[in-house]
Structures are given as structure tokens and as C-alpha cells.
Amino acid sequence: MNWSIARALRIIGAHPNVASVDKEIVADNGAWSVEVTVKVGLPNAWMAEARSPNGVRAIEPVILVFPANFPLRAPTICLRADFDRSLAHVQPGDPGDRPEPCVVDGNLSELLHRQGLAGILNQLVLWLENAALGRLIDPKQGWEPVRRDDLAGFVVADAAALRSLVGRDDGAATFGFDYLALVDNDGERSVYGEMGPSRLTLNRGTIGALIAERASRKSPEVRVGHSLAVVAWPGRHPSGDLVIARRYQPETVTDLGSLMARAADYGCARALRDTLNWLTTCLAGHRDNARFPLVVVLCARRPFHVIGANSAIELCPYVVDIGPPAFLALGDRTPVQPIGHRHAITPDLLRRLSGAGGAEETLAWVQVGCGSLGSKIALHLARSGRAPSIVIDRRYLSPHNAARHALAPEVGGMPLHWIDAKATAVAEAIEGLGQKAIAVKQDVVAITRNRAAAKKHLPKKAWAIVNATASLGVREAFGSMPPDIDIPRVLETSLFAGGELGVLTVEGPDRNPDTLDLMAEAYSCMRADDALRPVMFGSDDTVIRQVIGEGCGSPTMVMSDARISMFAAPLAETIMRMQNTSLPENGGRLLIGQVAADGLGLSWSGYAVPQVAVVGVEGPGDWSVRISARAAGKIAEDVRQWPGVETGGILMGRISEPARTFYVTDVLPAPEDSARSPHEFVLGTSGARRAIADYAESAGYSLFCLGTWHNHLGASGPSGTDRTTAAAVALARLAPSVLLIHTPAGYRALLADAAGATPPASEEG
Amino acid sequence: MVAKVLFFPVANGDMTLIVLESGRKVLVDMNIRAAADDPDDDTPDVAAELRKRLTRDEQGRLYVDALLLSHPDQDHCAGLRKHFHLGPPSEWSKAADKIFIRELWSSPLVFRRASSQHTLCDDAKAFNSEARRRVTRFRAASWSVSDGDRILILGEDEDGKTDDLGAILVKAGAAFSQVNGQYDPSMTARLLAPQPRSDDQDEEELRSKNHSSTILNFALAGDGVPDAGRFLTGGDAEVAIWERLWQRYCAHPDWFCYDILLAPHHCSWHSLSYDSWSDYGEDAEVCQDARSALSQTRRGAVVIASSKPVRDDENDPPCIRAKREYEAIAKAADGSFICVSEHPSEKNPETVEFEVGRYGPRLKSKPMKAAAIVGAGSIGSQPLAHG
């Protein structure tokens, strides 16, 4: 077990809701799993029963599975096997597996990098409590759509148009359906298609022309055809009240019988049955004996808006094979499969997602992240003949990307191309601009950990890597490269605070300062700037403090395409200028841009960031300290002011666990009651805690106390006193600390880490 | 909306904030010690904790809708003058930024002469003069009294001194749903004590020795469900008070019924027994009537000790024997006992917060904060030697 896991176990043990951590840590294929019991805050009366009426226990066993690349990637959370799977926000999975709760809307690893393991545990506790209280569906966040684990294809449909069919009375309508049908090696058929825009009137005379299927000319294994789609919606109860489907249920429809039962739950069974009966009648005389996919879309009226939509109508599509003469060959046992719904791209969707309520030689460089900002920068540069030679992004385009991606879906036909890999799509667009880029559809974090992949996709000879992923995980990965993998300098472009701030960091020669040094420096500069601080750290909707937890905020900031372009344009200009001249030759560079109050102007501050001093830390785990020029300057000045005695102070900055590095951005002076003598420096306490807390709070805890520094008058390393102090400091906090020593012969450093000092449980035995 | 009941960590003292479903806030007692206001001291900064949970009115004043002082002892009113605005509303100053008290809830004791046995601390004297100021305003202006001048007198006084206070007087045994002059359907509070003054001199002396306090049983609505949670609070009231209350009202056990009980007098044995813990030890006997008054639990009820950590020693309060008795009472309802100074840990006590929703009260879990991991630890907390 490594120190990161050991530290994680200490943090878990210190969490107020963790009742116990199992001593037995199980190793499995590089991963480590540990059983933890979590105290769940139930109402008094349920505490008395030790469980909630829906079966959540006051003490819940939970298994945390730490992947081999923790802390780059978050642990997986598994509940006990008999935990109720029918609750909302449980990840899809096989009935035999332990259920995994969906504790955060977004990426758990991003939450890990943002709030640490404590953030994940806090979310887990909240999730369990909400599960017990029946609050997993949060009206503010929206209704959780039915969880559907196994889809047999998808149907593209204009959601707004379908929802507009739903009125006060129940009903059903029939539409055309153009599709591709694929049969895989197991004989499983999947269907992909798009619903036509207008309602059809069916009769025996017209139906024949509406249904046909043939083999694709290009790929004979693909069938191409047109068929029908039936949409059924709910009406009113006999009392006159609207039928509202208030009960969350996972997908259980497997055949026509269960489909009709589900339709009855939603209040649209009558309309659906009438329409299917009429279809049967119309098809009775149809002579073609082939079978066709019939799409059935059930509309469920929910008590409040569905997540990701501005409507309370949830669309639940299914597909059933039909064919004459029996129409539904097996009656109620005719198999029915759930299929996914893909939005047809509509103006409504785009308005909503944009948050508006509506040189001559080719320069090889790598673009990582082909999302909204990355695609714009890549295409700005491609339009200037400076396209990246390699584009990396593991994600795929989905309809919401149309709101802000530099690429736009094409008109006409089925928008099936809009499901391609982002890297492929951007590479194709670049090709359209007469240049060539290699598309890499892999996880860049994995590439940074694989020598051969890194050599191929992040070649050292490239001009630079532009990281536009907005991923803390990717930044950490670039900042913690294995020593045997060399990559070019990294430039990072990021937007913060809902698009109020933009940052460009440019690594120095030999990657010093590196991308993590520069971001720590960015936090430091923003903390010290009266105009930037409140924007970055002050309000509720900044990225640093963005609430991912209660109510599950989206990890993507809501902002318009134009706002991203405000930053994308000058960022692309700056990158292009550096391509045309050179990268900085002394140290790195940091640019921070802020949108003016009128929303029109953009002001940029530039900072030259000198190289940092890198010092190895004595102690387990191969840690290092990187000391900014600012901090080093203050330390040197303090030592000059106190000749003949030892002096010291408090280190402030950040920690990266993947990089096992302390980033010292600043130092706080020693408290007034500190004592200096030729043989010893005693760091006092007066006012120190307030000063440290004020500093960390003013930086939104992006910068915090790292440990202490003091000097030795001779070129000696850590003394016995230093080691004793390190041990005391280590025990008093969960995060590792460092004792930095300034000597006439350079810096020395000592690790203070209880996770390292105490052998992990499994190694004791 | 849920209601909330919060117990601040104030060692041997009381400080409880009730946030009604309507959003109105009632503070019961306070013990904001000087050490709590010192940033270099480990004592929890309860004033800051309280302020975080209050809102400001249109004039920018942080306010509570009502402040109840259960009885005028220092450990129930410390910090009143420093943190709360006293005097006419017009004299509230933005610079001082003290908490504005819309309505004062006071016992009729403020009308009595200072007792020879009981000297009042300065904060208690200030409370009394503020209460008298507000009563004078009421007598002069009656219905035109507004925020910052309102007062509610909980219990009648001797010699008809409170007879003219009809609209602002609550009689013992009565229930009221009025906060800051407004009817609030999300709360019904029943006044159990103080009882009217007795003509019997001995009886009065006994009451005085037993820390006569205001005893209220709050029925709180949560998520639209009336009476979703009950909170019984009784200041420092001791055994004779509880014994007589049970004898008087035992026909109405529901009046004593609770989901949350604030163990009287910081978990003192003297609220359950006439025998001294230090004299009698395990031989001390429980007064059954007082115990009855304090054991009308609802399922899963929680007993809160707002006291220092409870040790197995001769001290009282808090008293280990009292803790055992309350644990037995809670256990009979499959409930639990919590000492505020030990929650979630004795090292870092935090505010104990209950949320009252449709399913009744529930102890809210504490998220782990960034400061718990990257806080300064021992740096700044203790001198650190570097050789």
C-alpha cells in the first residue's frame, strides 16, 4: 500500500460520520479496497429502529475501491449488495453487483481534486441521508429521468415538439421513423433513427407506403428503412386532476405487457392501446412479411421539471418489432426494449445550454482538450494556418456541445455525425481547412503515465502542449510526470468564475516553473489583487467554490459561446504570437484577464514568473518542495535581518499529492512571541492562527499553511529538535507538512507526515 | 421547509437557537464567554456561529425575532451587552453592528426587587432594565409598539403587577403561537413555569433555591407537518420545580412530551434528586415525580446536556449519575444522549444541529471541512522549536 492510500485512510478515519474503517485492506489487481461503516443521520424515531422505513441503515457498510492511479483518479463507492437499487441516482449495473451511488452530478475525480477525499465522503453521507429521507430527487435540481441500463439504440426527436403535444387530455400521435438497424455477433438488433417532423394519418391504404426496409448498399449488414413511431401522453383523473407520475422507478419494461403497465402508471395506457389496435387493423392486409421496428414514446408528467429540461414531461422511448399479419407476434409477451432519446438540435436546446434563457514552416504542437475553449483556440489557429498537429480528447460530441463548440452540426439528414469523438471532429474540421491533425481519442491522463504513448502523442520535439481541458486531473498529471517521460512545455488556458476570468500559463525552459507552480502563482496573484479576489474566491458561483454537492451543480460553467470567444480570441492571438517569435526564455509567464464591469472590455495583467527552487524532502515518499521567488526572497531578507541567530516563519502554498510536491508561494512572518537564539528558533503563537486562517480563507483555501521554515547558521541538515518538531507537526494534521531549512549551502527540507510515520495497517501484520 | 434546533458549545451554560419553519428565529439564553471572542483561544466562537445563522432586515440589522432568558444567571446571559443591542431601536448603530432583538421573552421576575440571596451580574441587570423599558413602552403606547420594543411576559407576577399586561402576558399552563406580535402557525409553545407566586413563604424560598426558570415545551412544524418535533427546555430548574409541575399537570403527560430535551441545569443531579451527589454518591435517590416530568419521551428521543464533558467524578453539574439517568430515559425510547462539549469530539466541539422535517427531528451530519485537513495543525497553536 502506498502513502497516498495510507493518508486517505487517515482522512477517512477522521471523518465525523465514519464509524469505523476495516483493518483489512484488500489488494486486487493494483487497486485497494477498504470497508468503511458510515453513520447516517436519520430522524430520531428511525434511529430508534436503526433503519429508515425504506431500508437505509443508521450504520451503512460502504466499500471504497481505490484505483491504482489514486489520487489521480477517485475511489469507486460501492454499497452493500442488498441496498435498494430502485432508488434514484444509483449507477446502472448488474443486479448481482454492489450498487454504486451517484453521489455527484459530474466527475468524481474532479470532485477529488477540488475538495479532496473529504468532499467525496461528505457527498456520500449526504446521498445516504437523502436516500433515507426520500430526497434524492431534489426539486431544485430537477426530476431524475428513469435510469435505463441497457439501451437497444436511440431515436433522435425534437423534444420540445413532442412535449408540446401534451395537453390536459390524454392522446397519442403517429410519426414517421427513418432508421438504421444493426445486428451484432450475438444476433442482438439495435436501431438508430430519427422521427419525422409531422403527424401522420393512418389507414389501410396509406400504411403500405410508410413501412419498408432494405440492406444498405454500402454495408450489407446494416438495414436501412422507414417505419412508424407512436407517442402517447397522459390526461386527467376522473376527479379532473392531471395525472402526475410521482413515483421514481427504474426501467423494468421487457415486453408489451410491462410496457402497457408502465403506460398505465403514466396515465397514457388507453391512448396507446387504441393506437396500437388501429395499427393492427391497418396492417392486417399488408402483404410484406418483413418485421419492422416500431418506436413507442411514453410521455410521463412529473411533479416538477426533468433534469436537463425546462419541462416536467419526461420522454421514455421503447422499440418493439412488428410485422403482419399478427402485428404483435406474441401478444403481451412480445419483447420490448428501451432505447435512448437523443435531442434533435433545436434553437430551444441551444438557448438553454448557453445560459441565455435563452511563419511559413509547419509548427508541430499538441492541443489537449477539444471542448468549447480548446476547439475555438484550435480552429482560430487552424484558420491562420497554425493548426495543431495532434489533437487529444477522449470525449464524444453530444447535443449540448452544439451550444458552445466551435464546430456546428450540418443541415439535412440525420445528425448522426454529431456523436463522433471530439478529437476526430476537430481533426476533420482542420482537414477541411487544408491541414492535417492526428486525432487521439484517449484519456490524456493515461497517456502521461505510459512512456510509449507519451512519446507518440506528446512528443518532446513538439513546440508545446496547449492544455484546454479545464480538468484539474489533467493539470495534476502534467505536473507530476514520471521522471523517465519528457514532454514539451505546457501552456494552460482556463476560464474561471463563470467566465469572468481567464488565465494563460506558460511553462519556463525545462518546465520550470511548471504548470502547477504557475497555477499556484495565479491563485497567489488573484488573492493579492483587490479586484480579482472577490471574483475568484468571493462569490458562490466561482469554480473554486462551485457547489458540486447539494443539488448537484453541473461541473460545466454556464456561459455563452460569445463569452468563451471573448477569451478564446486573445488567448489564440497570444499563442500565435509566441509561435511566431518564441516561448519565454527566462522563467514562465502568467496572464490573467478579467471582463470589465460593462461586460465589454477585457483587461489583462501579465506576470513574469521566475524559476522556482526545487528541494528534495527527507523522509518517505520522495516528496519535494518548490519555492517561488517571492517566498525565497522573503526568507533571504528575514535571514539578513537576523544575523547571528536562527530565525524562521510560516510557509503558505499548495500541495499536489500526485506530484508529491509542496508549492510554496509565500511566507508569513514569525509571530511576535517567537524566540531567536544562535542555537534554536522557537516559532511563537501570537496571532498566528488568525493570520493563517485569514490568508487561507482569502484564497478560498486554494492556498493554505504548508509548514514552517527556519535557518541554520552552518551548513547542517535537520537537527534532533527539528525531527521532534516534525513529528509533533505531523501528528497534529491530516495533510502532510514540511519543515524547510535555509542554510548557507542551500535549502534542506524534512517531511512531517503522520501517514508516513505510522506504518499502514496491512503492513503491520 | 424544515425547522431547526441548534445547541451552541458553551460548556456549562445554555445557548439554543430555534429556527421555526416560518423562518422566525428564537434564541433561548446565551453564554458568550470572553474567551469565545478571542481568536487566539480555542473556545468556540459562538457569537460568530450565531451571526452566521441570522439574517439582516431592510435596515441592515442582524436580528432575532425573540430572545428568551430562562433565568438571570451569568451562564445564561453572558455576552448580552457586548453582542446585542439594548435600548430604543433608534439607537442601534451600524458601526457597533449588534444583534437586534425584535421581541424579548421575559419571566415576571424582572418586576421583583433584587433578592438578598441572589446578586445579579451586569448582563442580567441590563436584561432587566431592557425588559422594564419595553414594558413601560407597552404601557404607554400599547398596540403601536413595534420591532425592537416588543416584549412577552411568560408567567404572572404577585400582587397583580402583571394584571394590566393582558396582551403581552402568557399564563402558566397556557400555549401560545405568537412570535414578535405575529401568529406563527409553525410553532406552539406551552408555558409550564414559572408558576404564579405562592403566598407560602417556604414554598417561595424552595423555588428560589431550585433555580426557578422559564420552562417551555415547543411543538415545531417541519415540512408542513404540525407538531413534527417537540423541544422541552427548562433552564436551570431543579428537582422541586419538576416534582411540583408533574404533581400539578400529570393529567396532561403530553405537555411534557419531547423529542429533544435540554437536560436541566447542565445535566445536574439536582434536577432529578433531593440528595446531594457528592454526599450520597450512588445511594442518592431519584425523585420519581421529577423523573416522570423529564421522561415523557417520543420514540428515539435525544437528551442534550449543554455542559462541560461529563466525567465520572464528584462534580455536579455535569453529573455522571444524572447522565446515566438520562441515558436510561433515552434508552427506554431507543434514543440517545449527547453532551454538546463532546460533539462531534471533545477536542473540537461544534454546534449540535437538529433538523425537524416531516419525519421528526434528525441530528444533522457534519461535513468534513478543508480546514480539518489543511488547517495549520500545531503551527500557531503551540510553540514549535527548530534547532
| % of chain A at pLDDT higher than 90 | 52
Nearest-by-Cβ selection for B299 from A45, A118, A724: A45
Nearest of B12, B116, B20 to residue B349 by alpha carbon:
B12
Q: How far is A14 from chain B (nearest CA, A)?
A: 8
Over residues A451-473, the pLDDT tens digits come to 999 999 999 999 999 999 988 89
Return the residue matching grid coordinates 409553525: B186
Integer Cα distance of B163 and B169 in angstroms: 9
pLDDT for position A413: 45
pLDDT for position A313: 95
pLDDT at position B97 over 70: yes
Mean pLDDT lowest for which of A87-101, A346-360, B265-279? A346-360
Chain A touched by B140 (CB under 8 Å): no
Q: Do B376 and A39 touch (CB under 8 A)?
A: no
Q: Do B368 and A722 touch (CB under 8 A)?
A: no
Residue window 256-315, chain B: list those with CB within 8 Å of chain A: 259-260, 298-302
Return the residue matching grid coordinates 491533425: A437
Integer Cα distance of B93 and A756 in angstroms: 54
pLDDT for position A287: 67
Integer Cα distance of B176 and B188 in angstroms: 6
Return the residue matching grid coordinates 422559564: B214
Enumerate the residues of chain B whose CB falls inside 8 A of the CB of residue A11: 368, 373
pLDDT at position A542 over 60: no
Chain A touched by B362 (CB under 8 Å): yes
- Judge contact between A558 and A516, C-beta under 8 A: no
pLDDT at position A421 over 70: yes
Pairs of residues, one from chain A and one from chain B, whose beta carbons lie less than 8 Å apart: 184
Q: Do A696 and B363 touch (CB under 8 A)?
A: no
Q: Do A685 and B40 touch (CB under 8 A)?
A: yes
Chain A touched by B160 (CB under 8 Å): no
Nearest-by-Cβ selection for B374 from A14, A731, A735: A735
Q: Do A732 and B381 touch (CB under 8 A)?
A: yes
pLDDT-based confidence at A556, cuts 50/70/90? low
Cis peptide before A459 (omega within 30 of 0): no
User: Which of A37, A44, A706 to mutate against chain B (most B CBs within 10 Å)?
Assistant: A44
- Judge contact between A740 and A664, C-beta under 8 A: yes
Is beta strand B297-305 parallel, antiparallel or unpaired with respect to B336-339?
Answer: parallel
Enumerate the residues of chain A whose CB falls inside 8 A of the CB of residue B330: none
Which carries the bigger pLDDT value, residue A288 or residue A172? A172
pLDDT at position B153 over 80: yes
Is beta strand B360-363 parallel, antiparallel or unpaired with respect to B352-357?
Answer: antiparallel
DSSP code string of A112-146: HHHHHHHHHHHHHHHHHHHHHHT-SS-TTT-BPPP
Integer Cα distance of A308 and A56 in angstroms: 28
Nearest-by-Cβ selection for A133 from B335, B357, B382: B357
Chain A nearest-CA residue for B344: A16
Chain A touched by B361 (CB under 8 Å): yes
pLDDT-based confidence at A763, cuts 50/70/90? very low
Chain A touched by B334 (CB under 8 Å): yes
Q: Do B387 and A680 touch (CB under 8 A)?
A: yes
Cell of A614: 526545487
Nearest-by-Cβ selection for A732 from B335, B369, B377: B377
Which carries the bigger pLDDT value, residue A740 or residue B380? A740
Integer Cα distance of B65 and B62 in angstroms: 10
Q: What is the rounded average pLDDT of the residues B125-152?
A: 91
Q: What is the rounded average pLDDT of the residues A310-319?
A: 92
Chain A touched by B376 (CB under 8 Å): yes
Chain A touched by B363 (CB under 8 Å): yes
pLDDT at position A369 over 80: yes
pLDDT-based confidence at B62, cuts 50/70/90? very high
Nearest-by-Cβ selection for A648 from B367, B377, B386: B386
- The model's pTM: 0.73
pLDDT-based confidence at A547, cuts 50/70/90? very low
- Judge contact between A535 and A497, C-beta under 8 A: yes
pLDDT for position B288: 97
Q: How far is A751 from chain B (nearest CA, A)?
A: 14
Q: What share of chain B is helix, strand, coil (3-state, %, to 5)?
A: 30, 25, 40
- Give the gyration radius of chain A's Cα atoms: 30
pLDDT at position A290 over 90: no
- Judge contact between A520 and A492, C-beta under 8 A: no
DSSP code string of A310-353: SSSEEEEEEEEEEBTTTBSTTGGGSBEEE-EEEEPP-HHHHHHH
Enumerate the residues of chain B whose CB falls inside 8 A of the CB of residue A42: 362
Which residues of A401-446 form beta strands (DSSP E)? 438-440
Which residues of B121-240 form beta strands (DSSP E)? 150-154, 169-170, 175-176, 178-179, 182-183, 187-193, 215-222, 225-233
pLDDT-based confidence at A758, cuts 50/70/90? very low
CA A208 to mean position of chain CA atoms? 48
Cell of A137: 430527487
Integer Cα distance of A372 and A395 in angstroms: 12
Q: Do A43 and B367 touch (CB under 8 A)?
A: no
pLDDT-based confidence at A490, cuts 50/70/90? very high
Beta-bridge partner residues of B190: B175, B217
pLDDT for position A357: 35
Chain A touched by B347 (CB under 8 Å): no
pLDDT for position B165: 80
pLDDT-based confidence at A1, cuts 50/70/90? low
pLDDT at position B206 over 70: yes
DSSP structure class, residue B315: -
Nearest-by-Cβ selection for A737 from B372, B377, B380: B377
Q: Do A721 and B385 touch (CB under 8 A)?
A: yes
Nearest-by-Cβ selection for B385 from A48, A673, A682: A682
- Our separate counts of H helices and E strands in chain A read 21, 31
Q: Do A710 and B374 touch (CB under 8 A)?
A: no
pLDDT for position A348: 54
Mean pLDDT lowest for which of A151-155, A626-630, B226-230? A151-155
Nearest-by-Cβ selection for B377 from A16, A116, A733: A733
Which residues of B109-202 form beta strands (DSSP E)? 150-154, 169-170, 175-176, 178-179, 182-183, 187-193
Over residues A564-605, the pLDDT tens digits come to 999 999 999 899 889 888 899 999 999 999 999 888 899 999
pLDDT for position A762: 37
User: Which of B329, B366, B369, B374 to mutate against chain A (most A CBs within 10 Å)?
Assistant: B374
DSSP structure class, residue A510: G
Q: Count how many residues are written for chain A.
A: 765
Which contacts of A360-365 are long-range, i.e. CB under 8 A and separated by 24 or more positions?
A362/A389, A363/A463, A363/A579, A364/A389, A364/A390, A364/A459, A364/A461, A364/A462, A364/A463, A365/A389, A365/A390, A365/A462, A365/A463, A365/A464, A365/A465, A365/A466, A365/A579
Q: What is the rounded average pLDDT of the residues A435-449?
A: 93
Chain A nearest-CA residue for B385: A682
Q: What is the ipTM of this complex?
A: 0.82
